[in-house]
Amino acid sequence: MRTAPTILHLDMDAFFASVEQASKPSLRGKAVVVGGLGPRGVVATASYEARVFGVHSAMPMGQARRLAPNAAYLVPRFTLYKSISERVMELLRALSPLVEPLSLDEAFVDLEAGGVAWDEPSARLAGVKLRADIRAATGLTGSVGLAASKMLAKIASEEAKPDGLVVIEPGTERAMLGPMSVRTLPGVGPATGDHLRRAGITTVEEIVEAGEDELVRLLGKAHGHGLYAMALARDDRPVVAERETKSVSVEDTYDVDIHDRTRVGLEVQRLAERCVRRLRGAGLSGRTIVLKVRRYDFSTLTRSETLRGPTDDPAVIREAAARLLDSVDTTGGVRLLGVGVSGLADYTQEDLFAQAAGERAVAQGPVEEHTVAPAEEPPSLAERRWPAGHDVRHTRFGHGWVQGSGLGRVTVRFETPSSEPGRVRTFRVDDPDLEAADPLPLVLRGPEGGDEAPGAGSQAVSSVPASLPKSWSASGGGAATSRP
């Protein structure tokens, strides 16, 4: 196990919500909640201002609205989030060939493998520079943890939030972990935490005091041994640059249960098409087609069919998904459907019959998502065309974003990432001068094509609210905090 704190963990601060605040000047410093806005929607990300009211990720959206009724509730813009994530990942890969993304906004980096850090001072310098580079390139902030292992680096970045840097120096790991809750350790969720609490174990130090044999008795051999090792700050997992994809899948949860069997079939076909697009986008094919159905009573069924060889043919995958649906009773209603492909490969076995079917499908035209009847009760035109938070452009007033819509009207706030908070205007939903638009960049490019850093004459913006605790660094200079 290495001794220098050269494993870096980056976690972008309230990523989706921060992007929305950075792109919408009127929302900076205010509570913002991003997620599904329907009756069964859940919170994807809440800004730090919204978290003050108790709103957090994975919370039902209805509960979030009760806790923070005056927050801005926005539909995610995943294309924008992905483009910003790709820019951040480019900066990480400039540091090291060993970058392990965990999600759009989170990754591990082995700084030693990149030759940019070999001890505590050099690692700290790399972390400070990375945070400054991220701010200059995206206008956003990220929190950085540095330690000698992945587990400790992730704990350090959590301690650094928001907008900070924490280094766990070698020799201080046990003292730091000891008073922390058992839930701090990876793999200790609510169920395991409650089980340990009933045994009188609530802190990491109490895990060590209980001993390995007691952990094995309480949790089983594999989990007990692993948890005891983590409590002793032992973690030899390497940073893995390419994580193997085991499956590709898509699923939708519906605001209103689907009862019509034909409509269920159309939804499965649409999901199969989306799954194929993701499969092809990753350059993969697969042998096993999987259908997931969650019924009205929350019972979840999965059905699968394994083909003779891997395929990415849309007709083959659609037909397999339809056959699987034939074996599922949807009487009473369906609340969730999903289609996936596993048994992945990076090639496709030629199948003349499948190829011919695919050519017929292309000749007839692709199945477009908007051609499928919606699963829920047909929404109003306003709700269908103008998602809250999405970008629009008016021929007279320019770029703006949708604050809300309904009753044949859509309300738009006209502002850009580099402007002052803008004015609000309301239009008919069918106003010919109003149309959907692409998001604007959060950071303007300099005259030489580079990113203009905040505070250097640029119009880059930061999503960090002014109300953050003064104990955390909020400057692009990346002041670091060492925590024993």
Catalytic residues: 106
The C-alpha atoms of residue 297 and residue 426 are separated, in whole angstroms, by 41
Structure-derived torsion over alpha carbons of residues 52, 454, 23, 441, reported in degrees to the nearest 10: -150
Structure-derived torsion over alpha carbons of residues 295, 296, 298, 302, reported in degrees to the nearest 10: 0
What stretches of 133-261 adopt beta strand conformation (E)?
Answer: 142-147, 165-167, 247-258
Q: For 264, left (φ over 0), alpha (ψ -120 to 50), or beta?
A: alpha
- The answer to whether 215 touches 127, Cβ cutoff 8 Å, is no
* 187 CB neighbour count, 10 Å cutoff: 11
Q: For 389, left (φ over 0), alpha (ψ -120 to 50), or beta?
A: left
The C-alpha atoms of residue 68 and residue 193 are separated, in whole angstroms, by 29
* Rg of the Cα atoms in the chain: 25
Structure-derived torsion over alpha carbons of residues 129, 133, 135, 136, reported in degrees to the nearest 10: 130
Residue 404's H or E segment, with its range, is strand 398-406
* 219 CB neighbour count, 10 Å cutoff: 20
> Can you read off the two tokens belonging to residue 41?
């929607």
Structure-derived torsion over alpha carbons of residues 143, 147, 151, 156, reported in degrees to the nearest 10: -40
List phi, psi (to 5°) of 136.
-65, -35
Instruction: Tell me the angle at which helices 314-326 and 261-281 cross, rounded to the nearest 10 degrees.
Output: 140
